[in-house]
Amino acid sequence: MIKEWATVVSWQNGVALVSCDVKASCNSCASRAGCGSRVLNKLGPQTSHTISVPSEQPLTVGQKVELGIAEGSLLGSAMLVYLSPLVGLFVVAGIFQMLFGTDLAAMSGGALGGVGGFMLARGFSHKLAQKEAWQPIILSVGLPPDMLRVETLSSEAR
């Protein structure tokens, strides 16, 4: 099970809208100065993803919840998204190369196969998203933000 903490944005009728922050793994690496991935992460937008998750327990805005998703569904979706365009590219490029015998035909076939593989992945992803095993679930719920109060003693009271 892959786990991630999220913040509740809203809760209505048994469905919680939660926000997950995008985390870059580049902040903990020792080679920060010479890393190209760190530079690319700075260029891209640092956004958060908002998803809806079923929750029978009433939740309050700002409350933390731990989400989980099965490894198999995550790996399956990654394979679908990355491998289907790649396989389409190589297969259709090979077929066009055999049929027409030119590099231009192979390049055109590769482009068509890549786009076709992407469209295939897009079509399957909507069907797979309907399966319950591919949906994130709430594993644990943190305290509401107004229930926890921390008091610190001033330096004069010590």
Mean pLDDT of 85-111: 96
- Helix, strand or coil for residue 14? coil
117, 137, 120: which is closest to 52 by C-alpha? 137
Structure tokens at 148: 């926890």
- Give the pLDDT band of residue 144 (cuts 50, 70, 90): confident
Place of tokens 């594993």: 139
Strand 2-12 versus strand 64-69 pairing type: antiparallel
Model confidence over 8-38: pLDDT tens digits? 999 999 999 999 876 655 555 666 566 666 6
Place of tokens 């640092």: 46
Find out whether 109 and 90 touch, Cβ atoms under 8 Å: no
DSSP per-residue codes, 100-133: H-SHHHHHHHHHHHHHHHHHHHHHHHHHHHTSGG
Query: What is the predicted pLDDT for the residue at 130?
Result: 85
Query: What is the predicted pLDDT for the residue at 145?
Result: 78
Query: What is the predicted pLDDT for the residue at 49?
Result: 81
User: Residue 86 and residue 148: Cα distance in Å, rounded?
Assistant: 50
pLDDT at 149 over 70: no
Query: What is the predicted pLDDT for the residue at 90?
Result: 97
- Give the pLDDT band of residue 153 (cuts 50, 70, 90): confident
Find out whether 59 and 16 touch, Cβ atoms under 8 Å: yes
Q: Mean pLDDT over all residues of the chain?
A: 85
Model confidence over 50-71: pLDDT tens digits? 889 999 899 999 999 999 999 9
- 142 DSSP β-pair partners: none
Among positive and negative, which fits the CA dihedral 94, 98, 99, 101? positive
